[in-house]
Structure 1
Amino acid sequence: MSVQRDDAAQSAYEQFEDLPMRVGVGQIKELSDEHLQFAAQVGIEDVLISPFDPHDEYDLTLTTGEVWTLEELTALRERVEAAGLRLYGLETLPYNLYRILIDDNPQEKIDVVKESLKNIGRAGIPVQGYSGHPPTGVSRTAPKVLRGGAKATAFDPELVDEAILEIRGGGEAQALDPEEVGSRVIETDRELTEEAMWETYELFLQEVIPVAEEYGVTLGLHPTDPPIEQIAGVPLLFRNFENHKRAMELYPSPNHGIKLGMGCWSEMGEDLVEVIKRFGGENIVYVHYRDVVGTAETGFYETFIDDPESNFDEYEVMKTLYEEGFTGVMTPDHVPDLPNEKEWPAGGFRGRAFTIGYLRGMLKAIRSEAGIDD
């Protein structure tokens, strides 16, 4: 079947085919002209947008829980293009994956995802990410103070059953009672066993991937953050390499790969270079570029991308991506909160500008080593 795209949507879709590995920027909460201007100013051409807000705190670019229409997706792409940028993809589904996995009758939610994927493909948007986070989103304990008074999120496994903190903008966090977390996550009377959730996930893949293939959309799976066995009694499936391998093998497809959340893999204690080599560049849809100090097992905190104490060598990892043939987009993901910035969850404009510049500098050096002039 040939996807029914208008000429502008087809042109937008085709322009991604021959692009090299590059730096982009992600977007949480409602897309603003300021965010688009920022991307253009720091030399970014690719934008990703996340329509999911577990805290119901922000105005969002797309409404969750309902089918995304062709008209609104086309308008969104055209708005990004009007700023001289490209809409590379959407970071999350109309439903957080865990809302589907814990539902007694998930088919209705799966059908919403399928209809949305059809419209995403028709609108000329090539990538759709989805998250292995529980519905409460990324969970942390108390923040860590970094150089110059910057703040970063942190996780202490000894405290996770006593006080879970949710990421908020401007270095702020809100403490949650574990029972409250459980009531927000668990919306079913059935026992949430890991194998039952795997069965529902396989159903999800069997229903969704054929639609993605038919409409030319590539799906990317993001790992759980933090990558631990459970939160509030809910098993977290995407917490290690073995489970990601299982996820990819349940329904192999060129339209399904991993969203390489480097911070999450670093939290697992995995060697990022080996992870990239094991999956291969063609199976990595796009990259969240960040690092931490420590692991989920021992406790960790997020940090600046150039921190010599962090778990991996940021240049070696990027060079491995390049050598493995990765050709997608790398975004800063979380960055430390700098003082007086509240415009963005998990770090603001200045933190992202620093990280984007650092990533672009490394990429330029790697391309120069390979004899490629920008």
Structure 2
Amino acid sequence: MSQTVDSDGNSEGVDFDSLPMRVGLGQFMDPTEEKLRFCKQLGVDDVLLNMYRYSPDYPHMPDDERIPLEGDAEWAYENLVELRERVESAGLRLNAIENIPISFYDKIMLGKEGKEDQMEHVKTTIRNIGRSGIPMFGYHWMPSGVWRNTDVTVRGGAGASGFDMDAVTDELTHDREYTEAELWDNYEYFLRELLPVAEEAGVKMCLHPNDPPVPSLGGIPQLFRNFENFKRAMELVPSENHGLEFCFGCWSEMGEDLEEVVRYFGERGKIFYVHFRDVEGTVPTFTETFVDQGNYDAYEMLSLLDDVGFRGLLIPDHVPHVEGDTDWEHRGRAHAVGYLNGLLTAIRRETGR
């Protein structure tokens, strides 16, 4: 079951591509014993870690003490191995590192001075992720991160967040307003530099949509907001190691034809793993909600994933905050895991797979 690395730094053990479609957990940075036990207690065998920011409060964050963590930085091989082994010690598989802090590659995204140095650090991190036996790296192209600007209550008074474009001001988030052409040029530079490294390291790079998927926020174009732009992203620098961190919630926010999108990318083998959540409404205004209510039918989407041959990891994402929950929303995630596993069981009974 465990993924291991030999003395030369080559990964061996689990063939992740041979595993079936399955429900896992993630969205946490610090794999504490309590969180890992909770995952196992829910019947989950797979996790991913979301390292979207650095925090000295988390003793298990990967870092490299040789480089200041505020600014240009990279993650050390030894620390990534320690993370993987910590997950495995709980009887779980570490499927992906999702995100690096924006400060690791903000100059790359915006084409600023110093991007070359940042790129070298990112390349080192990707090499170390591969050497340490972690097969996937999820990333986004959002210099300002995820935006939410409304707090709402959903079923039974559970807390959730939403977005309303009318409440967004014209204030810039960075030094100036950027053009879409600039962001595309910077993104192409990122792919041309990094994909060969990922291929050599055996790491799959997985692109997440912009959230919210609107044309621009704070003077920054949001490239990955629609079907056409994702097609362009996958064709820009063709690689078998480049695909999607397919977030159903973001695609639901876009209002795209989900069946068409899933069939297009799924039949091409470009869906590497899935965030399974939903919202009510579409841009310019939407509200996050429970996985069993929203814009689409969860059973139909899982059946569609099965039909196009997806055999990767599904994780709950952005669940509502229910009574007695923690900051990680462990109770809300437990509801989503149980619901999705029930649907998967029904689909397998029907299809015999």
**TM-score of the superposition, structure 2-length normalised?**
0.90
Task: Tell me the alpha carbon deviations over residues 244-276 of structure 1, each in whole angstroms, 9 at most, x when there is no partner.
Answer: 111111111110001111100000001222110
Question: Residue 165 of structure 1 aligns with which residue?
Answer: none
Match of 2:217 among 219, 223, 231: 231
Question: Residue 220 of structure 1 aligns with which residue?
Answer: 206
- Return the alpha-carbon distance in structure 1 between the equivalents of residues 298 and 343 of structure 2: 9
User: How far is 1:99 from its partner?
Assistant: 4.7
User: How far is 1:30 from its partner?
Assistant: 2.0
1:22 partner amino acid: R
Structure 2 counterparts to residues 1-374 of structure 1, below 5 A = 5-6=5-6, 10-12=11-13, 14-53=14-53, 59=58, 61-63=61-63, 65-95=72-102, 98-105=106-113, 106-135=115-144, 137-161=145-169, 179=171, 182=172, 185-186=173-174, 188=175, 192-281=178-267, 282-297=269-284, 299-307=285-293, 310-344=294-328, 348-372=329-353
User: How far is 1:53 from its partner?
Assistant: 3.0
Q: Structure 1 unaligned segments of length 5 or more: list them.
A: 162-177
**TM-score of the superposition, structure 1-length normalised?**
0.85
User: How far is 1:103 from its partner?
Assistant: 4.0
Question: Residue 66 of structure 2 aligns with which residue?
Answer: none
Task: Tell me the alpha carbon deviations over residues 76-102 of structure 1, each in whole angstroms, 9 at most, x when there is no partner.
Answer: 111100000000011113546555211
User: How far is 1:160 from its partner?
Assistant: 1.7
SS of aligned partner of 1:158: helix
- Return the alpha-carbon distance in structure 2 between the equivalents of residues 253 and 36 of structure 1: 33
User: How far is 1:338 from its partner?
Assistant: 1.2
- Return the alpha-carbon distance in structure 2 between the equivalents of residues 5 and 323 of structure 1: 34
1:92 partner amino acid: N
Q: Contact between 1:263 and 1:292, CA under 8 Å: does it hold in 2?
A: yes
Q: Contact between 1:20 and 1:327, CA under 8 Å: does it hold in 2?
A: yes
Question: Residue 170 of structure 1 aligns with which residue?
Answer: none
TM-align CA RMSD: 2.1
1:273 partner amino acid: E
User: How far is 1:339 from its partner?
Assistant: 3.0
SS of aligned partner of 1:143: strand
- Return the alpha-carbon distance in structure 2 between the equivalents of residues 48 and 77 of structure 1: 10
Task: Tell me the alpha carbon deviations over residues 287-331 of structure 1, each in whole angstroms, 9 at most, x when there is no partner.
Answer: 00000110013x110111112xx1111111011101101111000
Q: Contact between 1:30 and 1:58, CA under 8 Å: does it hold in 2?
A: no
- Return the alpha-carbon distance in structure 1 between the equivalents of residues 56 and 229 of structure 2: 32
Q: Contact between 2:53 and 2:101, CA under 8 Å: does it hold in 1?
A: no
Q: Structure 2 unaligned segments of length 5 or more: list them.
A: 64-68
Q: Contact between 2:205 and 2:242, CA under 8 Å: does it hold in 1?
A: yes
Q: Contact between 1:222 and 1:258, CA under 8 Å: does it hold in 2?
A: yes
- Return the alpha-carbon distance in structure 2 between the equivalents of residues 350 and 192 of structure 1: 41
Q: Contact between 1:90 and 1:129, CA under 8 Å: does it hold in 2?
A: yes
- Return the alpha-carbon distance in structure 1 between the equivalents of residues 109 and 239 of structure 2: 21
Q: Contact between 2:53 and 2:100, CA under 8 Å: does it hold in 1?
A: no
Task: Tell me the alpha carbon deviations over residues 45-84 of structure 1, each in whole angstroms, 9 at most, x when there is no partner.
Answer: 1110011139x69637234642211100111111100000
Q: Contact between 1:193 and 1:235, CA under 8 Å: does it hold in 2?
A: yes
1:88 partner amino acid: N
1:11 partner amino acid: E
Q: Percent identity?
A: 46
- Return the alpha-carbon distance in structure 2 between the equivalents of residues 86 and 101 of structure 1: 31
Task: Tell me the alpha carbon deviations over residues 104-142 of structure 1, each in whole angstroms, 9 at most, x when there is no partner.
Answer: 13111111111111111111110000013333x221122
SS of aligned partner of 2:134: coil
User: How far is 1:236 from its partner?
Assistant: 1.0
1:366 partner amino acid: I
Q: Contact between 2:111 and 2:186, CA under 8 Å: does it hold in 1?
A: no
1:292 partner amino acid: V
